[in-house]
Amino acid sequence: MIFLLTRHNSYIGREYADSLIQSGLEFVVAAFGDQPKIEQMEEVRCGGHWKPLETEKISAARKVERFASITDPRFHEFIRNNEYQFAIQGDIGEIAGRSFLNLFPNGIINFHPGDLPEYRGCNAPEWQILEGNSVICTAHLLDEGIDTGPIIKKKELALKYESYSKMRASVYPAVGKFVAELSTELISQRRIRAIPQGSGNHRRRMPHEILEKVCQAIREIEDR
CATH value at residue 44: 3.40.50.12230
Instruction: List, for residues 151-188, the tens digit of each pLDDT value.
Output: 999 999 999 999 999 999 999 999 999 999 999 999 98
Residue 63: its pLDDT value, please? 96
Residue 38 has pLDDT above 70, yes or no: no
- Average pLDDT in the 43-69 region? 92
Number of domains making up the chain: 1
The domain of 117 spans 2-223
If pLDDT is split at 50, 70 and 90, which confidence band does 41 have?
confident
Angle, alpha carbons 55-158-144 (nearest 5°): 65
